[in-house]
Amino acid sequence: MKHADLTTLTATFPLVQDLIALKETTWFNPATTTLAEGLPYVGLTADDVQDAHAAFSASRPIWRQPSRKPPRAAGLSNQKWLPFRQ
């Protein structure tokens, strides 16, 4: 990015300066919409949202358990990997 572009960007969006400085940053989109307004634009249905909510709710007890180790999951996280060959 050219210096002039960066100057314009940080002047237009001052929060970018905090990001560049690697400061902890919180931003909330002021142009948020309701679920009813936004859902048609993301290619999901209300059923998709309910399915995701149900899946998250089902896994919630796992994350509430105090543990030093995350629970073992089936799949790639349990695979033994071969060393990388150069």
Taking Cα atoms as reference points, which of 14, 10, 38 lies closest to residue 27? 14
Pairwise CA distance, residues 26 & 37, whole Å: 24
Task: Output the pLDDT for position 29.
Answer: 87
Classify 27 as helix, strand or coil: coil
The per-residue pLDDT for 80 is 64
What pLDDT is stored for residue 41 in this prediction? 87
On whether residue 50 sits in a domain, the answer given is: yes
Number of domains in the chain: 1
The residue segments making up the domain with residue 55 are 36-64
Evaluate whether residue 42 is within a structural domain. Answer: yes
Phi/psi at 73 (5° precision): -115, 150
Distance CA 40, CA 59 (A): 27
Ranges under pLDDT 70 in the chain: 1, 67-86
Asked whether residue 60 is domain-assigned, the answer is yes
